[in-house]
Chains A and B, each alone.
Chain A
């Protein structure tokens, strides 16, 4: 009963387009009013302070700032050209460079929107020049961009880690292999499509070994940053927050080296960082409050009992959760979807005996799927926004094969959890 009412209130309030942060707080208030023996709002002050002054969460604005600087550092264009030299001999040409560049940029960026936007802007001019199948080309950018949150660092993994008390370094380690496999799956999708319809692959691009070696150093800045930011965490030299701070310094150094470091650029970076951070933090503070309310009124236990009463097996619980996200993902904004559902779904999954690290990666894959599934998929909007003409449907159709690739990936980690768990277990 409580569960039904809670879900109804959540959907009603968020559905009425109340801003998500305020809306989640409102859901907490309503549930508190209805079911809690004591007024929990009193905790809100302490909760707001302790959440936002939490050192681990400082990683979020740091990664956002890191992304804002990278965007203005001018590394993306050169990196893309180098990728073209190395990957465009495959059937499907530049579309493989799109996927590869997204994967490489995603391995320094913690955000999918930033990855899609950055690589999208660089690549967009090439569609007509080389006569690619436009829809598939757009799809590679929207889908490739989602790699930003799977390949560490990842803002979404940090949020999941903090909300569920899961080790962030382990989550990062767990994201690596799936990130690599998914990149290959995306490329394979392009390859199959272009072997089936060779005309989609566009005109061949001139490459030479001399040019390949000449552009190779352009791949270095992102690789060095990757090594600093992710390597420091893996070797236990620094925490996720610390390594993000080092990343900021590294990105600033590259920007200065490219002579792009100015005061007005820094001001833009600061303003953009704070706006995005505040938006995320507003939702987080409200979600932490909702979390307390949910625990106090015993919602999770109730759901647990419900599952026991219906004798649902772990696999059935998991399937239900996956289905829930696939449905929610079609119409809900992805970040809000993740934060507002974690307090409910994670305890259920853990009760069913699944590993929190494994579920974290599964959740990220589900969010990626949501990002490119219509009608609401943020990456679809980003790529459509860059193209600035034609119909959104072109991007949606072009992304469809990659939704299938993502579903294959989800099935893969469900049947072979080792893909996720091997690396975190091997390292410790």
Chain B
């Protein structure tokens, strides 16, 4: 199961990078679009559609990346005051179970959206007439992967619980304190600044 998670982590990291690249490409496409609009009064169209798809797809694939890196925000005002480890573990399990439920709902009803576009062969209304099933299919795959990751984490955490290995459970799904979160932000900036100084 550990290997399964490493595998999932690799995929979700890849998904995040590809999703980010899509956003970058979308931004550049928009710039080209604006340039053509003002320089040659040309409207190509479609750039706004594409960037919408980029957001939908990159966030669907990003949900799992955020879950695996424990980046989803939790209000931990109460959590940090709970000193009992078992109670904390219960809160962590509750949180990841809620995510699995949320993901399940998104997948269940997201399938309907994809299926409808596919069956009725709908196209986007803009100039590019993109068959909606394509972006929605990739989007749906991201949601399904998110559900898989949520269930995997829930499963591993429950197993750790059964083994009474709470440290493992906290490593998997524990709440990252806001202070730790802030620290990560700072480390990113510091690394960037150091690169600057080296030059």
CB distance from B109 to the nearest CB of A (A): 3
- Quick one: closest A residue to B187, CB to CB? A385
A53 to B76 Cα, complex, angstroms: 31
A426 to B87 Cα, complex, angstroms: 57
Find out whether the CB atom of A22 lies under 8 angstroms from the CB atom of B58. no
A281 to B51 Cα, complex, angstroms: 15
A25 to B99 Cα, complex, angstroms: 9
- Quick one: closest B residue to A118, CB to CB? B189
**Contact A121:B66 (CB < 8 A) given known A45-B109, A45-B113, A55-B51:** no
Question: Which residues from 311 to 333 on chain A have a C-beta closer than 8 Å to any C-beta of chain B?
Answer: 331-333
- Quick one: closest A residue to B110, CB to CB? A45
Query: How big is chain A's contact interface, by range?
Result: 35 or more
Find out whether the CB atom of B65 lies under 8 angstroms from the CB atom of A58. no
- Quick one: closest B residue to A284, CB to CB? B59
Name A381's contact: one of B72, B179, B193 (CB within 8 Å): B179
B-binding segment of A12-20, A95-103, A291-299: A12-20
A381 to B63 Cα, complex, angstroms: 25
CB distance from A125 to the nearest CB of B (A): 10
A249 to B31 Cα, complex, angstroms: 8
A245 to B16 Cα, complex, angstroms: 19
List chain A residues, Cβ under 8 A from B59: 52, 61, 274, 277-278, 281-282
CB distance from A390 to the nearest CB of B (A): 13
- Quick one: closest B residue to A334, CB to CB? B73
A264 to B17 Cα, complex, angstroms: 11
- Quick one: closest B residue to A19, CB to CB? B72
B-binding segment of A83-91, A265-273, A361-369: A265-273
Find out whether the CB atom of A274 lies under 8 angstroms from the CB atom of B95. no
- Quick one: closest B residue to A68, CB to CB? B188
Find out whether the CB atom of A17 lies under 8 angstroms from the CB atom of B63. no
Find out whether the CB atom of A49 lies under 8 angstroms from the CB atom of B72. no
Find out whether the CB atom of A381 lies under 8 angstroms from the CB atom of B73. no
A20 to B67 Cα, complex, angstroms: 12
Find out whether the CB atom of B27 lies under 8 angstroms from the CB atom of A248. yes
Find out whether the CB atom of A382 lies under 8 angstroms from the CB atom of B75. no
What 0/1 readout, one digit per residue, does chain A (1-23) give for beta carbons within 8 Å of chain B?
Answer: 00000000000001111111111
List chain A residues, Cβ under 8 A from B178: 333, 376, 378, 381
List chain B residues, Cβ under 8 A from A55: 48-49, 51-52
A44 to B112 Cα, complex, angstroms: 10
Question: Which residues from 338 to 375 on chain A have a C-beta closer than 8 Å to any C-beta of chain B?
Answer: 375
B-binding segment of A69-77, A172-180, A207-215: A69-77
**CB pairs A–B below 8 angstroms (19 shown):** A18-B91, A19-B99, A23-B95, A42-B109, A42-B112, A49-B110, A53-B52, A61-B55, A62-B23, A238-B34, A244-B27, A245-B26, A260-B196, A268-B188, A278-B58, A278-B59, A279-B62, A281-B59, A283-B73
Q: Which residues of A approach B to under 8 Å, CB–CB? A: 14-23, 25-26, 41-46, 48-49, 52-55, 57-58, 60-62, 65, 71-72, 74, 76-77, 113-114, 117-118, 120-122, 237-238, 241-242, 244-246, 248-249, 259-260, 266-279, 281-283, 285-286, 331-333, 335-336, 375-376, 378, 381-382, 384-386, 392
